[in-house]
Amino acid sequence: MPRLEREGLSVDNMIPCNTLYGGMKGRDASDQETADKWEVQLRKGCLELAILAALWNGKLYGLEILRRLKSDSDLIVSEGTIYPLLSRLKALGLVRSEWVESDAGHPRKYYALTPAGMGTFFGAKNARWLSQ
C-alpha cells in the first residue's frame, strides 16, 4: 500500500469509508427519507476526506484531483461534484486555492491543504473506525 509523506508525517494512502448503513433503512417513507439523507452525508464526508488525501503531497488543480481520486481509490467523481466540495473545504479553511498561469494557455486554479486541513486529514486517518 503506498504511503503519503509530508512534513515528517506518514500515512497510508487509503481512507476507510466502508460503513454499514443498511440497518438504517426503515419501514416507512419518513424512515427511508432519513436513511437516504444520512447516506448522502456519509458519502459527502468520505469524498471530502478523499480530496484531502489527494492533496496531501502538494497542490493540484481540479482535473488532477479527479484523476488522483480515480487512480488511487477507484472513486469516479464528476466535475459537478468535485468543485462544490472544494468550495466547501475552502470555506471551512481546510484547503486554499490560487490561480497559476499554465503552459496550456489558460490559468488553472490549484488547491492545497492548509495546516487545519492537514490536521483534519491526519486526525481522521488515525481515528479508530468502528467496523462490523
Domains belonging to the chain, first-starting first, are 26-126 (1.10.10.10)
Give the tens place of pLDDT for each residue, 42-88. Answer: 666 788 889 999 999 999 999 999 999 888 887 778 889 899 999 99
How many C-beta neighbours within 10 Å does residue 55 have? 26
Report yes or no: 21 and 31 within 8 Å, Cβ to Cβ.
Answer: no
pTM of the model: 0.68
pLDDT at 83: 94
Report yes or no: 54 and 65 within 8 Å, Cβ to Cβ.
Answer: yes
| pLDDT above 90: residue 94 | yes
